C-alpha cells in the first residue's frame, strides 16, 4: 500500500465540539499528524456529551481518532510559549475558539503570518470574523434556525431540527477542503493562504435550492415531513407489512410507475399528474392512488415491482439498523478503532483512494501524548513543574 498522502504534514488544532474536530479528523485519516490541544481541566467538552463508547462520548469517539492529545493552558505565558514552539514545526493551525478569543491570544491570521509565516491558519467561526454578528456565539441549532433549515424541515404542523449537527458538519467539510486547497497552493506557489469558514455561511450554501426556489418563485417550500417538497411522487408509502419510500425524478420514471407498478399506463397522461409541478399540486390525490396499490403488496413484493420498473426505492431503517446494513458489511466499511477503555467499530472514510488505506488510529485519552510532545520539544526536565503549575 502507498504512503498516506498527508504523511509529513503537522496540524496543530485548538479545537472543541464538532466543526473543527471533524475537519482535522479527516486530515488525520489521510496521514497528517494532528496535535489536539485540550484544556487541562477536562479537555474538549465534547468528551463529556455522553458516555456511550466505553465511557467516552459518541461525538468524541467519532471526531477524534488518530489525534495526539496535549493538555495545555494557552492562557498562561508558559502555555503560549509551548504552543509557539509547536507552531514553529506545524503546517496548519486550526481553531474554533469563541468570538474574539483567537485575537486575544495572538492566534489570529494576521499575528500568525508575522510569527509563523509558513503556517496555514484555519478559523472556524459561527457568523464570520467580521460583520454585525461577529461577536455572537453560535451553536448548531441556532444556525439551523437562522439559515432557514427549520422552516423547511418537519411537518405542516411542526418544524423540527435536523437530527444531526448539520451546520457543524457543513463547516467542518468546508474547512477540510479549504485546508487541502491551501496546502496545494502553498506547495505549488509557496504562498500561504488563510482559511476561514463560518457555520452560518456553510449551511446557507447547503440551503441553496430552497433559497433560490423561494427567491424566484415567491413561495417558501412547504414542510412536507418525509415527502419531497417540490417533487412528487417522492416519499414514504405504506405496504402490507411496513413502509417503502419511492422516488420518481422525471416524467419517464412516472410513466414506468404508472404502467409497471400501478397497472394504469393511461394515468401518466392525466392532466393532474402529467408534469412534476402538476403532481406536486395534486399530491394528495396522487398519494391516494399510489397508496391504494402499494397497500395490497408486501414490502418484498413492492420492492421487487419497483426495482423491475427501474423506480428508485428504499426501506426505512433506524440508526441501530445502520450498523448491520448489507452494503456496509459487504463492502467492508467497518473497522476496529481503539478508544480509551476498549475498541469500537468505526466507519472508514467515504472517499476511497486507490492503493491507500486510511490511517484510522486510536481515539486519545485526555492528555495522553502530553509528555511525549513536551519531550520532543526539549521540555522533559520541566514536566513536573508544568504539571504543578497547571500549565499542562
Active-site position among 108, 168, 287, 352: 168
**Same-domain pairing of 71 and 143:** yes
Please determine, for residue 145, whether its predicted confidence score (pLDDT) is greater than 80.
yes
pLDDT band at 229 (very low <50, low <70, confident <90, very high): confident
Please determine, for residue 253, whether its predicted confidence score (pLDDT) is greater than 90.
yes
**Same-domain pairing of 160 and 47:** yes
Please state the separation of Cα 128 from the chain's center in Å: 19
Residues 71-91 as b/e (b if ≥16 CB within 10 A, e otherwise) read bbbbebebbbebbebbbeebb
For 269-287, what is each residue's pLDDT tens digit?
999 999 999 999 999 999 9
**Same-domain pairing of 142 and 275:** no
Contact assessment for residue 95 and residue 15, using Cβ atoms and an 8 Å cutoff = yes
Listed residue (171, 169, 12, 10) closest to 84, CA to CA = 12
**Same-domain pairing of 52 and 109:** yes
**Same-domain pairing of 56 and 110:** yes
Which conformational region is residue 153 in: left (phi greater than 0), alpha (psi within -120 to 50 degrees), or beta?
Answer: beta
For 361-375, what is each residue's pLDDT tens digit?
999 999 999 999 999
Position 143 scores a pLDDT of: 96
Residue 282 resides in a domain: yes
- The pairs formed by 32-36 with CB atoms below 8 angstroms and a separation of 24 or more are 32/6, 32/7, 32/92, 33/9, 33/68, 34/66, 34/67, 34/68, 35/10, 35/11, 35/67, 35/68, 35/70, 35/86, 35/90, 35/369, 35/373, 36/64, 36/67, 36/68, 36/69, 36/70, 36/364
Please determine, for residue 1, whether its predicted confidence score (pLDDT) is greater than 80.
no
Domain ranges, residue 238: 234-316
d(CA 381, CA 387) in angstroms, rounded, equals 12
**Same-domain pairing of 98 and 174:** yes
Residue 212 resides in a domain: no
Tell me the C-alpha to C-alpha distance, in Å, between residue 344 and each of 150, 296, 336: 33, 42, 6
- CATH (domain of 95): 3.40.50.10540
- Report the predicted TM-score, pTM, of the whole model to 2 decimal places: 0.91
Scanning 218-333, the segments in alpha helix (DSSP H) are 251-256, 276-281, 283-294, 299-308, 319-322, 326-330
- CATH (domain of 276): 3.30.1540.10
- 168 is a catalytic site residue: yes
Position 230 scores a pLDDT of: 87
Q: What is the mean pLDDT of residues 141-156?
A: 94
Pairing mode, strands 342-347 and 334-339: antiparallel
**Same-domain pairing of 240 and 184:** no
Position 358 scores a pLDDT of: 94
**Same-domain pairing of 67 and 170:** yes
Residue 151 resides in a domain: yes
Q: Which residue has the cell 502507498?
A: 2
**Same-domain pairing of 343 and 284:** no
Residue 297 resides in a domain: yes
In the chain, how many H helices and how many E strands? 17, 11
pLDDT band at 174 (very low <50, low <70, confident <90, very high): very high
For 288-297, what is each residue's pLDDT tens digit?
999 999 999 9
Please state the separation of Cα 384 from the chain's center in Å: 39
Q: What is the mean pLDDT of residues 296-313?
A: 95
Q: Which residue has the cell 415527502?
A: 227
Amino acid at each position: 500500500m502507498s504512503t498516506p498522502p498527508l504523511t509529513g504534514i503537522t496540524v496543530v488544532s485548538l479545537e472543541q465540539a464538532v466543526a473543527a474536530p471533524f475537519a482535522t479528523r479527516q486530515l488525520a485519516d489521510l496521514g497528517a499528524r494532528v496535535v489536539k490541544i485540550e484544556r487541562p481541566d477536562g479537555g474538549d467538552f465534547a468528551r463529556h456529551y455522553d458516555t456511550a463508547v466505553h465511557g467516552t462520548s459518541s461525538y468524541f469517539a467519532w471526531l477524534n481518532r488518530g489525534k495526539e492529545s496535549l493538555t495545555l493552558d494557552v492562557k498562561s505565558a508558559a502555555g503560549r510559549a509551548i504552543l509557539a514552539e509547536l507552531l514553529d514545526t506545524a503546517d496548519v493551525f486550526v481553531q474554533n475558539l469563541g468570538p474574539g478569543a483567537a485575537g486575544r491570544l495572538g492566534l489570529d491570521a494576521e499575528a500568525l503570518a508575522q510569527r509563523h509565516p509558513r503556517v496555514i491558519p484555519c478559523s472556524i467561526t459561527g457568523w464570520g470574523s467580521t460583520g454585525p454578528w461577529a461577536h455572537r456565539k453560535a451553536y448548531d441549532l441556532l444556525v439551523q434556525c437562522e439559515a432557514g433549515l427549520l422552516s423547511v424541515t418537519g411537518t405542516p404542523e411542526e418544524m423540527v431540527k435536523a437530527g444531526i449537527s448539520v451546520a457543524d458538519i457543513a463547516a467542518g467539510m468546508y474547512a477540510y477542503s479549504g485546508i487541502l486547497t491551501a496546502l496545494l497552493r502553498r506547495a505549488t506557489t509557496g504562498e500561504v493562504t488563510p482559511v476561514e469558514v463560518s457555520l452560518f455561511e456553510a449551511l446557507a450554501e447547503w440551503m441553496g435550492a430552497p433559497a433560490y426556489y423561494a427567491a424566484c418563485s415567491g413561495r417558501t417550500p412547504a414542510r412536507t415531513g418525509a415527502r419531497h417538497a417540490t417533487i412528487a411522487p417522492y416519499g414514504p408509502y405504506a405496504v402490507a407489512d411496513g413502509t417503502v419510500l419511492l422516488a420518481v425524478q422525471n416524467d419517464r420514471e412516472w410513466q414506468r410507475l404508472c404502467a409497471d407498478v400501478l397497472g394504469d399506463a393511461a394515468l401518466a397522461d392525466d392532466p393532474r399528474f402529467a408534469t412534476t409541478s402538476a403532481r406536486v399540486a395534486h399530491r394528495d390525490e396522487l398519494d391516494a392512488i399510489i397508496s391504494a396499490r402499494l397497500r395490497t403488496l408486501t414490502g418484498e413484493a413492492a420492492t421487487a415491482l419497483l426495482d423491475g420498473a427501474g423506480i428508485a426505492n428504499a426501506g426505512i431503517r433506524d440508526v441501530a439498523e445502520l450498523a448491520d446494513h448489507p452494503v456496509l458489511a459487504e463492502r467492508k466499511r467497518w473497522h476496529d478503532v481503539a478508544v480509551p477503555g476498549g475498541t469500537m467499530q468505526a466507519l472508514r472514510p467515504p472517499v476511497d483512494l486507490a492503493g491507500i488505506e486510511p490511517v484510522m488510529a486510536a481515539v486519545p485519552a485526555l492528555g495522553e501524548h502530553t509528555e511525549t510532545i513536551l519531550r520532543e520539544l526539549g521540555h522533559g526536565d520541566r514536566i513536573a513543574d508544568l504539571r504543578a503549575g497547571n500549565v499542562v
